[in-house]
């Protein structure tokens, strides 16, 4: 996700709107209500980024499709006023993301074309984007065909339109995303050095992050009482499993075939790192954190059945040492540094890349899109 626009997905917000019971007061965080009316024509321009228009349909198709899906699944029909407010708010947030993506894309194109004449820049841009479009049809279209079990590109386009998108829209976003991210990668420091004192300070200020609960990994065989007519039959079954595992030496192979623990056939009875106190069975929890490591247990009985376990690894509760935490801290600080770099880069783009939008209050340094033709002409002169 691009730093600076921390929005949850459209679908998540719509679910929240439905569950809240009041669409009218579900204004997205950080977005003040606006008196601007959305245009009615899908092909109307609602933003212009460095001469590249953004049409209403570029953001509205997905929003409208998701709204209809949520309304259908929730069984609650919002009032026209609620629907209008929710749709406008969602389109605004999608427009902000679309503008930011186009800013990065246009920054990449500017970087690659430099001070070439206008006709030369257009030719170079076409060459750059054509290579990425080829990637789209070679990599993404086959995935779409497989996902929807289709055979032709036209079938894929028709299917996407059912979901509020189109092949053209997917291609455009793919191209802009690839080139925009390429711009970000090219401008950011790839492997920033993290000074040791900074890591030490972070460790001392965030001790709660490096405290560890006792945890263990183990293998398990289970005979459930519910699978047998008598408890003795369940005991006989776990004895057979235990004997086979003991003499064959492979608990997981036996668990995959015979254990009655849920999903044992998929997990082979293997339980990855699990914190002490998190198991539903108190009996198993106590045994896992007290038995010797790498030895088959005796038969363990709880409310659900009989079990045999073998603890593979166990770690006691405690504080992770600074030496052991260094790699984790280095990654955290590196991610924070790169996020800050990206945030500053976006701020710089907002200053350099001209943007006109019907919601100028949503994008710093942008101008009102009062006349698309004027915006487009002015943008060309700036370039």
pLDDT in tens, 122-175: 888 888 888 899 999 999 899 989 888 998 999 988 988 887 678 888 898 899
For residue 174, what pLDDT is reported? 92
Q: What is the CA radius of gyration of the chain?
A: 29
**Mean pLDDT of the region 297-313:** 97
**Mean pLDDT of the region 291-301:** 96
The reply to whether 147 falls in a domain is yes
Based on the fold, state whether residues 155 and 223 are members of the same structural domain: no
The reply to whether 19 falls in a domain is no
Based on the fold, state whether residues 109 and 158 are members of the same structural domain: yes
Based on the fold, state whether residues 299 and 374 are members of the same structural domain: no
State how far the Cα of 53 lies from the Cα of 372, in Å rounded to an integer: 9
The reply to whether 125 falls in a domain is yes
Based on the fold, state whether residues 282 and 228 are members of the same structural domain: yes
For residue 30, what pLDDT is reported? 52
State how far the Cα of 324 lies from the Cα of 170, in Å rounded to an integer: 44
Based on the fold, state whether residues 150 and 265 are members of the same structural domain: no
Q: Are 70 and 18 in contact (CB under 8 A)?
A: yes
- 253: domain CATH number is 3.10.50.40
The reply to whether 347 falls in a domain is no
Threshold 0.75, pTM exceeds: no
pLDDT in tens, 251-268: 999 999 999 999 999 999
Q: What is the mean pLDDT of the chain?
A: 85
Based on the fold, state whether residues 167 and 56 are members of the same structural domain: yes
Based on the fold, state whether residues 182 and 51 are members of the same structural domain: yes
State how far the Cα of 188 lies from the Cα of 344, in Å rounded to an integer: 10
How many domains does the structure of the chain reveal? 2
Based on the fold, state whether residues 126 and 169 are members of the same structural domain: yes
Residue 341 scores a pLDDT above 70 = yes
The reply to whether 206 falls in a domain is no
118-135 helix and 80-113 helix, angle to the nearest 10 degrees: 110
User: Residue 158: which domain range?
Assistant: 45-187+353-381
CA 53 to chain centre: 28
Residue 31 scores a pLDDT above 80 = no
pLDDT in tens, 209-220: 898 899 999 999
State how far the Cα of 173 lies from the Cα of 157, in Å rounded to an integer: 15
The reply to whether 166 falls in a domain is yes
Based on the fold, state whether residues 271 and 365 are members of the same structural domain: no
């Amino acid at each position: 996700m691009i730093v600076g626009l921390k929005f949850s997905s459209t679908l998540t917000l719509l679910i929240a709107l439905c569950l809240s019971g009041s669409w009218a007061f579900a204004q997205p965080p950080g977005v003040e209500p606006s008196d601007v009316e959305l245009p009615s024509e899908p092909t109307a321009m609602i933003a212009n980024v460095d001469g590249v228009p953004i049409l209403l349909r570029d953001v509205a198709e997905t929003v409208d499709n998701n709204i209809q899906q949520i309304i259908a699944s929730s069984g609650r029909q919002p009032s026209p006023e609620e629907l209008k407010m929710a749709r406008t708010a969602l389109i605004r947030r999608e427009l902000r993301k679309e503008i930011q993506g186009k800013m990065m894309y246009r920054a990449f194109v500017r970087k690659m074309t430099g001070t070439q004449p206008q006709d030369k820049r257009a030719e170079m841009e076409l060459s750059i984007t054509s290579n990425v479009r080829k990637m789209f049809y070679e990599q993404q279209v086959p995935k779409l065909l497989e996902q929807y079990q289709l055979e032709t590109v036209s079938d894929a386009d028709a299917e996407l339109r059912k979901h509020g998108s189109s092949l053209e829209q997917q291609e455009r976003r793919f191209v802009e995303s690839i080139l925009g991210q390429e711009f970000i990668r090219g401008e950011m420091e790839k492997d920033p050095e993290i000074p040791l004192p900074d890591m030490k300070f972070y460790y001392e200020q965030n001790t709660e992050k490096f405290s560890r609960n006792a945890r263990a990994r183990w293998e398990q065989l289970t005979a459930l009482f519910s699978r047998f007519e008598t408890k003795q039959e369940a005991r006989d079954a776990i004895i057979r499993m235990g004997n086979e595992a003991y003499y064959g030496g492979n608990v997981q192979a036996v668990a995959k075939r015979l254990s009655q623990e849920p999903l044992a056939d998929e997990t082979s009875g293997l339980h990855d790192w699990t914190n002490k106190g998190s198991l539903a069975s108190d009996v198993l929890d106590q045994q896992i954190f007290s038995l010797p490591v790498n030895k088959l247990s005796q038969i363990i009985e709880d409310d659900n059945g009989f079990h045999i376990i073998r603890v593979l690894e166990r770690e006691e509760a405690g504080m992770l040492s600074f030496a052991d935490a260094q790699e984790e801290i280095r990654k955290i600080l590196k991610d924070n540094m790169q996020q800050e770099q990206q945030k500053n880069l976006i701020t710089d783009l907002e200053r350099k890349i001209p943007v006109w939008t019907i919601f100028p209050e949503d994008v710093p340094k942008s101008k009102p899109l009062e006349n698309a033709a004027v915006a487009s002409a002015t943008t060309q002169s700036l370039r």
